[in-house]
Amino acid sequence: MFIRACRRRPVEHIPVWYMRQAGRSLPEYRAVREGVPMLTACATPDLVVEITMQPVRRYGVDAAIFFSDIVVPLKAIGVDLDIKPGVGPVVARPIRTEDDVKTLRALQPDDVPYVTESVRLLVKELGEVPLIGFAGAPFTLASYLIEGGPSKNHDRTKAMMYGRPDLWHALMARLADITLAYLRLQAEAGASALQLFDSWVGAVAPEDYRAFVLPHTSRIFAGLADLDVPRIHFGVGTGELLGLLAEAGADVIGVDWRVPLDRAAERVGPGKALQGNLDPAVLLAPWEVVESRARAVVERGRAAEGHVFNLGHGVLPSTDPDQLARLTDLIHQIPVR
């Protein structure tokens, strides 16, 4: 059902999966991750398979999302970074100069053999359930690299974008190459769909997105076109960018919780499916609220040519897994018109 919805074809039920469905909200996840650093877990195929499978077993979702982190390809090419608990990715030597950009070499399959092995093992384990491969988009990766870690305002990032457009485009071009190679190897190993996460691109105005971001995301999606797998594009705070995200070339546009899906469908335009967009915080409310809000999302989603039910961002760590199990069952039971 998931692939059919992505391709805007008729479905028997509304497909559903959740961003960060394999993560801290699950007790079984916390058990297997205890004492294991994030990047170590991402490079251990047996752990990747187990963690990716956990929500599929528990919830019966229509797709699995590959367990990894967006900085994995950067680490693999030699960037000195770590994921610090409670902070996020931290880069030891931020990218600030032409010489810094030149240190970002191309990604080779041999750099991430554990990714290829994990995908192949998962495809066998999942059977008919599709596996979604993913990568971080160039803008979000650039922000981590330039700022040296998470940033509220992306000051240094925007300073380079506005003040040194030559350096900015050189950095974005290298990151686009790395991201494209990383997504292709996941698809070639067996992933059924690919999602490009641009977590921080909502910080950019539409005209700046067109000038400084769109050429690079467009090249990534164009470089995946021959693989014949659905391509999903998701960003946070991108209500004003939805038309541009669609223009970049994905088949499915992920919508965060800030824009109702019927309005998003108007902004995205024809020829695309939508993914989303229940506010993750709703799952912390009583079930009656969750059900009402979820039904409203489905109703508005009927305006789209295809709809994959999801959250408007990732599952919050304090979410009760039983809420997600009930939500999955509810979405599967709502009639498709």
293 is catalytic: no
Token pair recorded at residue 270: 């024809």
Which listed residue (7, 24, 156, 164) is catalytic? 24
Contact 135, 215 (CB under 8 A): no
Catalytic option among 18, 29, 59, 144: 144
Is residue 144 annotated as part of the catalytic site, yes or no? yes
- Whether 300 is catalytic: no
Q: Pick the catalytic residue: 8, 20, 174, 231?
A: 20
Name the active-site residue from 4, 69, 156, 258.
Answer: 69
Single out the catalytic residue among 33, 96, 210, 258.
33
Q: Are 248 and 236 in contact (CB under 8 A)?
A: no
162 is catalytic: no
Q: Which residues pair with 287 in a beta bridge?
A: none
Assess whether 33 carries a catalytic annotation. Answer: yes
Q: What angle do CA 288, 294, 297 make, to 5 degrees?
A: 145
CB atoms inside a 10 Å sphere around CB 76? 21
Query: Which residues does the annotation mark as catalytic?
Result: 20, 24, 33, 69, 144
